[in-house]
Amino acid sequence: MSLNKRNQAQIERRLIKNLTDACETAKGQIPGFVWLTHAVDFAAFPASLKVVWVFDTQVNKDFALADGEARFMVELTTQALADANVNVRQVANHVFYDSEEECQRACGGDWPKRLAQKNPGRA
C-alpha cells in the first residue's frame, strides 16, 4: 500500500499517542521497564512495523519475560495498534524486547543503529 506523506504523518501521530499510553500503563506495572519505541518503513507498511519494549537491564528484561509479562505487553501493543487504526496479522510478530544494557554492549548505546537491525532485541 502506497501512503502519501500526509497519511504517513497521521499514522505516525496516532502510533505515538497510543504507544505512549501503553508505555505509561506498563511503567507502573512491570519492574525494570523504562520506555518503548517503534520503527516503521512506510514503503512496507504495516509489515515493517516494529514495537520495541525497552528495559533498564537484561536481567529485568529476562525476568519480565519469564514471569509472563510478554503477554501483557502484547495485549497493550494490540490495543494501541487498534486505537491507532493499524492492522497487522500477528501483533506478537511485531513486538520486540530489548534493554539499555544490551544496546550499550552491542551498539555502544546507539539506539538508531540498534533499531535498524532486522530484529532488535532478538539479535
pLDDT digits (tens, 9 = 90+) for 70-123: 999 999 999 999 999 999 999 999 999 999 999 999 999 999 999 887 676 653
pTM equals: 0.91
Closest CA to 76 of 91, 57, 97: 91
Task: Compute the distance between CA of residue 46 and CA of residue 38 in angstroms, rounded to an integer.
Answer: 12
Question: Is there a contact between 88 and 97 (Cβ–Cβ < 8 Å)?
Answer: no
Q: Which CATH number fits domain 5-116: 3.60.21, 2.30.29, 3.30.300, 1.10.10?
A: 3.30.300
Q: Identify whether the C-beta of residue 123 lies closer than 8 Å to the C-beta of residue 105.
A: no
Could you report the per-residue pLDDT of 3-33, keeping only the tens digit for each? 899 999 999 999 999 999 999 999 989 999 9
H or E stretch including 97?
strand 95-99
In residues, how long is the chain? 123
The answer for residues whose C-beta is within 8 angstroms of residue 41's C-beta and 6 or more apart is 48
Enumerate the domain spans of the chain. 5-116
d(CA 112, CA 58): 19
